[in-house]
C-alpha cells in the first residue's frame, strides 16, 4: 500500500491510499478499452485536463500525451472536435464529487487505475461509465464499421469515457 498526497490547483493536502496494483483488480463490470495513458496519447479533453497534476501520476503517461497548458484546444482531440462540457455544467448536474475528484470522471478513473478504491464512489462512477454504452449503440447503428468520420463528436465523447470508439 502507498499513500499519495495531492497538491495541485484544485486540491490541497488531499491524501489517498493505493490498495490495488496499477491497472489490476477492477470491478467485474468495469472493463475500459483504454488506459489513462492511451487516452492522453490519443487526445482527450482538448489537452487541457491534466496540465497541473502530472506529479500525481506516472511520468510515462505524459511522454506522448497531447496537452495544451494554455487552453482547451479541440484540435488535440483524437477526432479533432470538441466533445466536452465545461466543468461548471458537470458541477451543476451533481456529476462531480469535489471531495474526491473535483475534475470529474477521468480523474476518478486515473486514480482507480492507479489502485485507489472508494467502494461507494467507485460504484457510482462505474454506473455512469456503463450508461455511456448507449452512444456506442448509436454509432454502430448509424455508421459503417470503423468509419471514424461518422459522428466524430459522439466518438470523441465515448473516448472520454475510456471506450475505444475507433473500433466500432
What does the pLDDT look like over 66-94, one tens digit per residue? 999 889 999 999 999 999 887 788 888 88
Count: domains in the chain: 1
Domain membership of residue 140 as a residue range:
2-167
Whether the pLDDT of residue 121 is over 90: the answer is yes
Q: Are 89 and 95 in contact (CB under 8 A)?
A: no
Whether the pLDDT of residue 6 is over 80: the answer is yes
**What is the residue whose three cell numbers read 489490476?**
24
pLDDT (tens digit per residue) in 122-155: 999 999 999 999 999 999 999 999 999 999 999 9
**Residue 59: φ, ψ to 5°:** -55, -35
pLDDT of amino acid 67: 95
Q: Is the dihedral of CA 126, 66, 5, 11 positive or negative?
A: negative
pLDDT of amino acid 106: 95
Q: Across the strands, what pairs with 17?
A: 3
CA-based max dimension of the chain: 48
Q: Is the dihedral of CA 10, 58, 35, 119 positive or negative?
A: negative
Q: Are 142 and 151 in contact (CB under 8 A)?
A: yes
Q: Report the C-alpha gap between 23 and 20 in whole angstroms.
A: 8
**Residue 17: φ, ψ to 5°:** -110, 135
**What is the residue whose three cell numbers read 475505444?**
164
Amino acid at each position: 500500500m502507498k499513500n499519495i498526497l495531492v497538491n495541485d490547483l484544485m486540491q490541497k493536502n488531499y491524501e489517498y491510499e493505493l490498495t490495488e496494483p496499477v491497472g489490476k483488480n477492477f470491478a467485474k463490470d468495469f472493463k475500459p478499452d483504454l488506459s489513462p495513458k492511451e487516452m492522453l496519447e490519443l487526445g482527450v479533453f482538448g489537452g487541457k485536463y491534466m496540465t497541473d497534476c502530472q506529479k500525481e501520476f506516472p511520468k510515462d503517461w505524459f511522454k506522448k500525451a497531447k496537452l495544451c497548458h494554455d487552453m482547451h484546444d479541440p484540435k488535440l482531440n483524437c477526432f479533432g472536435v470538441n466533445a466536452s462540457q465545461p466543468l461548471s455544467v458537470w458541477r451543476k448536474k451533481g456529476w462531480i464529487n469535489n471531495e474526491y475528484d473535483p475534475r470529474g470522471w477521468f480523474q476518478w478513473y486515473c486514480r482507480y487505475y492507479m489502485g485507489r478504491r472508494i467502494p461507494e464512489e467507485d460504484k457510482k462512477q462505474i454506473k455512469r461509465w456503463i450508461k455511456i454504452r448507449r452512444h456506442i449503440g448509436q454509432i454502430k447503428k448509424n455508421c459503417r464499421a470503423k468509419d471514424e468520420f461518422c459522428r466524430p463528436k459522439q466518438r470523441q465523447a465515448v473516448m472520454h469515457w475510456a471506450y475505444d470508439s475507433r473500433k466500432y
